[in-house]
Amino acid sequence: TGADDGGAPPAQRSVRVPPGVTVFDSASWNGIAIDSTCGGHGTCHKCKVRVEGPTPITRHDVKTFSREQLDNGWRLACLVQATRDLAVDVPPLTTRPKAATVGVGRQVILRPAVQKRYVELDEPTLADQRPDVDRLLAAIDDLEPAPDLHALRRLPKVLREADFKVTAVVVDEVLVDVEPGDTTDQRYAIAYDLGTTTVVATLLDLTLGTPIAVASVLNKQQPFGGDVITRISATMLDPEALPRLQRAAADTLAELASQVCGEGGVDPRQVYEVAIAGNATMTALVLGMDPEPLGVAPFVLATAQPPALLAAEVGLDLHPRAHVYFFPALGAYVGGDIVAGMLATGMDRDKRTRLMIDVGTNCEIVLSDGDRIVSTAAPAGPAFEGGAIRCGMRAADGAIETIRLDTPEGVVDLGVIGDVEPKGLCGSGLVDAVAELVKVGLLDGTGRFVPDEQAVDIAPKLADRLTKLGEERVFVLHRPWPDAGPEDCVVLSQRDVRELQFAKAAISTGWSLLLEELGLEARDVQQVLMAGSFGSYISPASAVRIGLVPKLPVLRIVSAGNVAGEGAKMALLSVRERAGAAALLEEVTYVELSDRADFNDRFVDQLGF
């Protein structure tokens, strides 16, 4: 819950985050502001929240709170991990921040491209007949803006109606508007993560650097196909498909804009800027650019950096001069979303050797040794989204997301989204299912279910779950009623295991080649960041067990959340960070996997567990 200012009843929010993520990050990712000046590193002692139920006390908590406060559940939010359902009270912000915490512990000094200045101008006289705009520009000369026509059209009337007490609105050094009175506190922007499957929007208060509202919807391009290749193919088969895809993208962005503005109580006309982080295909489609060259070798972008344009040109009804910033792309399959992710994780700033894996249909991988950065894309296929999986489904209510097998007791412990009857298996559940079956020995190192006699020896109380559905062997994860046949159960099939093997082999081939590129061994990696809406939820232990990530201690594997969306927020909060995104284009070397002669051999080597 977050308490509002002015004695209003606290707003109640319920959010879902990967296990182990701190309360501080959970809040930040979900549009709930918590005080901080250290960026979640446990040193500023400002991120005070009250947690219900028994919560471990750290030495920093002891330094910050009285005994009574500790007994009442007060803790530092950046040191409390969400390892169970938690109820948390978040007090309102006490100070006006100069910096915001975004992404993976990144502190961003607030310097948005959108600036506002309130001025009280001298009224013109016969002795002072300076043009209106000169009068205004002289008062805001530190911003050195150039006026645009929209601002000039409004200027004479607004100045006179407001007795020459006005607020100048400057975006990217252009005077775009003049508003009556002092509106300096009303300065907003929207950050979009334009995903192939899901699109997320965050409404930001640019004055405080805090998120106000977050919303997500399925991309309205879904009817054209679930992944980028089917959408590109659609444009190749039907000349009408590109404008329709463009409209679907615009409708998705517009629906989210009205949702976050409605929820945040913000007039859309006070949203002056938008940042969009999307993969190369999503970016091409929202701009109405032909995506065909992205889908066929040699996989070429129309442009690495889309031009600046007005929000109205991507179908958004915000401030009429609101600008859109698109992240640049490194290649056809390492797009603006990953550049945004690199910004959010500070891949170019951290001296440690770090690996970022954004798991999805197309899996983007970035490796940095603190000096050089290499990246690649691996075609993981739809397994993680539940595609091509017998009981696969998206991470929605009814999806099994965690699985633990207890061999001696024969217990199959399922974590189900929404705590409802299990309906299917989402990406993280699939990884868990396979990892647990490998762990107990019911799946062998090649990914085959062991013969029935062997299963009885290994796990007598689980062996009866291994059965056949048609000709295929399956493991029953959930039986809806006692004598339900396998066709009515949620099962993991032999083919599902194969699909996962292909997906994880593509990904591990990708990172192993990047390691080789930098002359590193797997053990040199100090941190693995699991990013994206699938990657963030995968259990580190299971990811290690099946070889999706290098064999490392699980503490080195962390969930990074929606890094594309976090990067988009950073670009709106700071023009310096935006320049950092552009600089990444020079710093990162893109490694193409598909022209490696040894790709297939390596892929086959990575298939086993």
Q: Which residues bind ligand FES (CB under 6 A)?
A: 24, 36, 38, 40, 42-47, 76, 78
| Least Cβ distance, residue 60 to ligand FES (angstroms) | 7
| Least Cβ distance, residue 41 to ligand FES (angstroms) | 6
HSE at residue 57, side-chain half, CA atoms within 13 A, is 16
CA–CA distance, 428 with 421 (Å, rounded to integer): 17
Q: Which residue has the tokens 């539940």?
A: 386
Distances (CA, A) of 148 to 113, 256, 567: 16, 28, 29
Under 8 Å between Cβ of 292 and 236: yes
Nearest to ligand FES of 79, 497 (CB atom): 79
Nearest to ligand FES of 43, 66 (CB atom): 43
| Least Cβ distance, residue 36 to ligand FES (angstroms) | 4
CA–CA distance, 311 with 180 (Å, rounded to integer): 23
CA–CA distance, 44 with 42 (Å, rounded to integer): 6
Q: What are phi and psi of 163, to 5 degrees?
A: 55, 35
568: its two tokens:
């988009």
Nearest to ligand FES of 75, 116 (CB atom): 75
b/e burial code for range 25-57 (CB count within 10 A of at least 16 → b):
bbbbbbbbbbbbbbbbebebbbbbbbbeeebeb
Nearest to ligand FES of 24, 192 (CB atom): 24
| Least Cβ distance, residue 62 to ligand FES (angstroms) | 13
CA–CA distance, 74 with 65 (Å, rounded to integer): 7
Nearest to ligand FES of 42, 225 (CB atom): 42
CA–CA distance, 66 with 68 (Å, rounded to integer): 5
- CA Rg, the chain, in Å? 26
| Least Cβ distance, residue 219 to ligand FES (angstroms) | 34
Query: Strand pairing partners for 169?
Result: 116, 177
Q: What are phi and psi of 359, to 5 degrees?
A: -80, 130
CA–CA distance, 46 with 74 (Å, rounded to integer): 12
The identity of residue 411, as a single letter, is V
| Least Cβ distance, residue 37 to ligand FES (angstroms) | 6
Sheet with 114-120: list strands edge to edge: 114-120, 165-171, 174-180, 146-147
| Least Cβ distance, residue 556 to ligand FES (angstroms) | 22
Cβ neighbour number for residue 552 with a 10 Å cutoff: 19
Nearest to ligand FES of 99, 277 (CB atom): 99
Element (H, E) at 198: strand 198-205
Nearest to ligand FES of 45, 111 (CB atom): 45
| Least Cβ distance, residue 551 to ligand FES (angstroms) | 32
| Least Cβ distance, residue 109 to ligand FES (angstroms) | 16
Sheet with 472-478: list strands edge to edge: 466-469, 472-478, 490-493
Nearest to ligand FES of 76, 435 (CB atom): 76
Under 8 Å between Cβ of 536 and 529: no
Q: Which residue has the tokens 């739809």?
A: 382
Nearest to ligand FES of 105, 306 (CB atom): 105
| Least Cβ distance, residue 46 to ligand FES (angstroms) | 5
Nearest to ligand FES of 101, 167 (CB atom): 101
Nearest to ligand FES of 43, 446 (CB atom): 43
| Least Cβ distance, residue 35 to ligand FES (angstroms) | 8
